[in-house]
Amino acid sequence: MQYYNGFIVLDRKIIEWEWFTDSITLHVWLYCLLSANWKKGRFMGIEVPRGSFVSSYPKMAKNAHISIQQARTAIFHLKSTGEITVKSYPKFSLITVNNYNRYQDTNRQNNSQSTGNQQATNRQSTTIEQSNKVTRKQSNKKEKDIDTSDSVSEIVDSKTKHHYGENGNVLLTEAEYNKLHIDYPNADELINYLDLYIPDKAYKSKSHYSAIKRWVVDAVKKKESKLSNSEKFAQGKRAF
C-alpha cells in the first residue's frame, strides 16, 4: 500500500456540497483530493499536472475499501457535476481535480499556518515517479488486478461490458450504466432486480441494457405497486 505525506486543505463549506450526504461519493471525492499530485510529473510518456493523478476502479475500490460498482457510480457523479474530468489514453486514464489550485490555496491561511503549510509541502514525497515504482512492485507481485495499465482502461472503454448488481450478473458498458442513472432515479434497483432474476429464471439476453428498458422497469413498478397495495390492506386490517 502506498502512503502519502503532507496534507490537503478542506473548506468547511463542503457540508453544503450537493454530494455531501452521499457517503460513497464524498469518500471518493476525498480520495481524489488526497491522490492528486501536488506538483506536476510524468507517467508513461504524458505530463501529469498538479491536481491530476492516474488511477482505476479496482485500485480505488481497494484503497478506499468500497466496491468497484460504488467507485464507478461515485466517479460518474463527480464527472456529472464538474468536480473532476477524465482524459482517456490507450492504456490508462488521467483523472483531474478541476479547480485544484482553488481548493488547495494555502494563501488563505494566516502567516504562521502558511509557514507550516510550506514546510509540510516541502516534506511531501509522493510523486509520479514513486507511483511508478509502486505500480511496478505490484506487477511483480502479480497484483495485476490493481495495476494501472491493466485496469484504468476499464474506466474509458465504452465497448467493454462490466459486471453490475449485487451478484455481478448484469453486463453493461459504462455508457449504458451511466445512461440508466440519467434516465432512471432507481437505476440501481432496476439493475439489482435483473441481477436476481437472471439466475432464478435462467434468463438469457444479448443486451441486459435493452432488457432493463424493455421490461424490467415495468416489472419493478408492478412489484412496488403490489407492495404498496399490501401495505394499504395491512393498515386497513389494523384499523379494524
Say how far apart CA 22 and CA 108 lie, in whole Å.
Answer: 28
Pick from 24-28, 61-65, 119-123 the range whose average pLDDT is largest: 24-28
> Domain coordinates of the chain in residue numbers?
1-157, 158-240
With a cut of 50, say whether residue 117 has pLDDT above it.
no
| Grid coordinates given for 238 | 389494523
Topology given in CATH for the domain delimited by 1-157: Arc Repressor Mutant, subunit A (1.10.10)
Q: Which residues contact 106 (CB under 8 A, 6 or more apart)?
A: 9, 113, 114, 117, 118, 121
User: Amino acid identity of 196?
Assistant: L
| Residue-level pLDDT at 198 | 92
Is the backbone of residue 67 left (phi > 0), alpha (psi -120 to 50) or beta? beta
| Residue-level pLDDT at 236 | 55
Write out pLDDT tens, residues 184-216.
Answer: 888 889 998 998 999 888 899 999 999 999 999
Q: Which residues contact 163 (CB under 8 A, 6 or more apart)?
A: 169, 170, 171
With a cut of 50, say whether residue 110 has pLDDT above it.
no
**Number of Cβ atoms within 10 Å of the Cβ of 231:** 10
CB 164 within 8 A of CB 191: yes
| Best CA proximity match to 51, nearest among 75, 33, 71 | 33
